[in-house]
């Protein structure tokens, strides 16, 4: 999606959101678009077009930029403007450090009684089904998007709004990281089966095994992404 298309979509969103014209509302909108892959790394976020699209003041937009900058989702460059961030190797290490604390714990500490509720695992099952369909169709964006939804669903098992918000920030950064693997189906495809296995383990009450698998899974993904980031430097 181009920046112009994203701006048009944001104009539509303001129709139902004008009552919430705050920096938090704007940062949520932009973070969602970045997490969805609509705003790619390096995209300049011009104040004038964004203010016009959202119908907000420059001060409100700058408040949102400050929030997203603190989350490392956007980068301020003096005398040049604000850009969607390009994560570095250190950013990847920090993202995965957070994820290794967050996701395995969400799996390990979800109780069997909670998992017994039919609706509890449905978001994870739907994400796996979408990922399998995307893999069959050869859609890398489809696999990446379904994977994002799967991991959001894992953290949602904890039933914590604060953790969900934190995961939203992490996933926005992850979408920028995944941009480096945008053409590599071999990166995304194996994780579809890992996600399915995690759901199977949860469904049979093996939360500890699911958490162990997730820990190994995240370490493997981190190593692959760090290798991809380092490749240009070795050429």
Tell me whether residue 215 is exposed, middle or buried, using C-beta atoms within 10 angstroms of its C-beta: 0 to 12, 13 to 18, 19 or more: middle
What pLDDT tens digit does each residue of the chain (235 aa) get? 666 777 777 776 655 555 455 888 899 889 888 877 788 888 999 999 999 888 889 999 999 999 999 988 899 999 899 999 888 899 999 999 999 999 999 999 999 998 888 789 999 999 999 999 999 998 888 898 899 999 999 999 999 999 999 998 898 888 888 775 655 667 888 899 999 999 999 999 999 999 999 999 999 999 988 988 776 544 4
pLDDT, position 193: 95
CB 182 within 8 Å of CB 86: no
> What letter would DSSP give residue 80?
T
**pLDDT tens for residues 99-135?**
999 999 999 999 999 888 878 999 999 999 999 999 9
Domains and CATH numbers, the chain: 3-84 (1.10.10.10), 89-229 (1.20.120.530)
pTM of the predicted structure, to 2 decimals: 0.77
Strands 81-84, 74-77: parallel, antiparallel or unpaired by DSSP? antiparallel
CB 103 within 8 Å of CB 166: no
């Amino acid at each position: 999606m181009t920046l112009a298309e994203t701006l048009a979509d944001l104009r539509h969103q303001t129709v139902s959101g004008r009552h919430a014209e705050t920096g938090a509302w704007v940062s949520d909108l932009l973070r969602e678009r970045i997490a969805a892959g609509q705003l790619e790394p390096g995209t300049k976020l011009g104040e004038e077009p964004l203010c016009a699209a959202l119908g907000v003041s420059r001060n409100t937009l700058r408040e949102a930029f400050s929030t997203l900058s603190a989350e490392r989702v956007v980068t301020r460059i003096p005398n040049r403007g604000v850009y969607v961030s390009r994560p570095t190797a250190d950013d990847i290490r920090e993202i995965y450090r957070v994820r290794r604390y967050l996701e395995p714990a969400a799996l390990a500490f979800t109780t069997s009684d909670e998992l017994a509720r039919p609706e509890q695992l449905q978001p994870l099952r739907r994400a796996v089904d979408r990922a399998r369909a995307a893999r069959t169709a050869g859609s890398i964006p489809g696999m990446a998007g379904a994977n994002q939804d799967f991991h959001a669903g894992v953290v949602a098992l904890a039933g914590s709004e604060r953790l969900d918000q934190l995961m939203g920030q992490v996933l926005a950064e992850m979408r920028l990281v995944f941009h480096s693997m945008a053409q590599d189906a071999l990166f995304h495809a194996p994780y579809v089966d890992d996600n399915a296995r995690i759901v199977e383990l949860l469904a049979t009450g093996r939360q500890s095994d699911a958490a162990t698998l997730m820990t190994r899974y995240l370490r493997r993904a981190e190593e692959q992404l760090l290798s991809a980031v380092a490749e240009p430097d070795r050429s």
